[in-house]
Amino acid sequence: MENSTITTELIAGTMISDLLERWPETAVLFNKFNMACVGCVVAPFYSVDDAISIYGVQRDEFLAKLLLLIQE
């Protein structure tokens, strides 16, 4: 899949470990938002949306920033 065809909704449903494996540069954003997802043993079982809910992060802002990193 081309990076240009990726949407925020697609990202939201992606498992965290899959996202970090495909786009390791996104790890910086998780850390910036104080989310302990990078290296977490449950990352393969949680979607980005799950993490957003768990950490109480502003969904639209976080997904938009992830999309920007992926599309760079």
pLDDT attached to residue 5: 84
CATH number, position 15: 1.10.3910.10
Q: What's the pTM? A: 0.89
d(CA 55, CA 1): 29
The DSSP element (H or E) to which 10 belongs, if any, is: helix 8-12
Could you read off the pLDDT of 52-71 as tens digits, one per residue?
999 999 999 999 999 999 98
Q: Report the sign of the C-alpha dihedral through residues 41, 32, 3, 14, in that order.
A: positive
For 8, the domain range is 3-71
Residue 4 has pLDDT above 80, yes or no: no
pLDDT attached to residue 42: 94
d(CA 59, CA 72): 20
Q: How many domains does the chain have?
A: 1
